[in-house]
Amino acid sequence: MTLHESELSDLAERLLADYDAVCPGDVFANGLRLDLDDAWHLQAAVTRLREARGELVAGYKIGAVTPGNQQMLGLTQPVWGRLWQSEFYDSGVRLDRAAYAELSLEAEFGIELSQSVKPGMSMQQLAACVGSVYPTLELHNLRLCSAQPHGPELIANNCINCGVVKGAAVTAIEKPCETSLQLVYDGKLVDSWEKLKWPHDILKALGWLAQSLESQGLHLKRGDFVLTSAWGPPIPVQNHHRVEVTSSAFGDAFAVIT
């Protein structure tokens, strides 16, 4: 860590103030540069500030799972961020686009853990830790203000996550299956995938997440919600209104952007 504690505390307060003011990352626009170690410390420092004001961590998101995305961001492995209970929404929610900065979405699957996940588990063991699967829309503030590569800013700014819209829980997940996944804006297909495999494709990064959290003294526990990673980039909402995620095996969810 190269930042002093006083610098870390000041940057965390500025980063959270930027987020609250719907101008996330402004501090990076003024020339801030971090190494990856400092970026992780900064994400943790902002977490402490949010918890101190009463917010609750509900789980984690996994991002940048493909080597191409990692290379573009200057990373050598995936990344993760916290999910906040105050930013969870049920399907059908109406969201104000003015509350976000360049709102963009990913279609993916969320899981709720029925028991703790430990590093080194097999895929069969990981699947047995999942109590339910949800179709989800992940919300992002697609605003990166630093010079490339953006990896340190992405990590420090909680992987640009700003919320989750989730559908109904699916608990009949004992058997392997295949599913489609689509992201739809105002009835128009904007991204899609076919024959995604449960559990192997959907949980492929869960073991990595458990190991990465352990390295920072954190643990995946019963009740945690995990966004298991997306297969495509965040797609800007722009002027669209009804946004949907649909899947053949795990249902659908939608939100209305006003």
pLDDT by position in tens, the chain (length 258): 588 888 999 999 999 999 999 999 999 998 888 999 999 999 999 999 999 999 999 999 999 998 888 888 989 999 999 999 999 999 999 999 999 999 999 999 999 999 999 999 999 999 999 999 999 999 999 999 998 899 999 999 999 999 999 999 999 999 999 999 999 999 999 999 999 999 999 999 999 999 999 999 999 999 999 999 999 999 999 999 999 999 999 999 999 999
Q: Are 193 and 117 in contact (CB under 8 A)?
A: no
pLDDT of 203? 98
**51 falls within a domain:** no
pLDDT of 1? 58
**24 falls within a domain:** no
**237 falls within a domain:** yes
Using CA atoms, how far residue 75 sits from 22, 29, 33, 35, 171, in Å, is 26, 20, 15, 11, 35
Between the CA atoms of 95, 96, 97 and 99, what dihedral angle is there, to the nearest 10 degrees?
A: -110
Which residue, among 41, 121, 50, 129, has the nearest Cα to 83 in the 3D structure? Answer: 50
Rounded to the nearest angstrom, the gap between the alpha carbon of residue 154 and the centroid of all alpha carbons in its chain is: 11
Report pTM: 0.96
**245 falls within a domain:** yes
CB under 8 Å to 39, separation ≥6 — which residues?
151, 152, 153, 154, 155, 156
**40 falls within a domain:** no
Which residue, among 232, 226, 218, 220, has the nearest Cα to 40 in the 3D structure? Answer: 218
DSSP letter for each residue of 217-243: T--B-TT-EEEEEESS--EE-TT--EE
For the chain, the domain total comes to 1
d(Cα 192, Cα 76) in Å, to the nearest integer? Answer: 26
Interval 213-234: pLDDT, tens: 999 999 999 999 999 999 999 9
The CATH number of the domain holding residue 146 is 3.90.850.10
**Domain housing 69:** 56-257
**160 falls within a domain:** yes
d(Cα 195, Cα 222) in Å, to the nearest integer? Answer: 29
**227 falls within a domain:** yes
Find residue 94's DSSP bridge partners: 256
pLDDT of 85? 98
pLDDT of 68? 84
**16 falls within a domain:** no
pLDDT of 176? 97
Q: For the chain, what is the radius of gyration of the CA atoms?
A: 18
pLDDT of 4? 85
d(Cα 142, Cα 154) in Å, to the nearest integer? Answer: 10
Between the CA atoms of 17, 217, 150 and 243, what dihedral angle is there, to the nearest 10 degrees?
A: -70
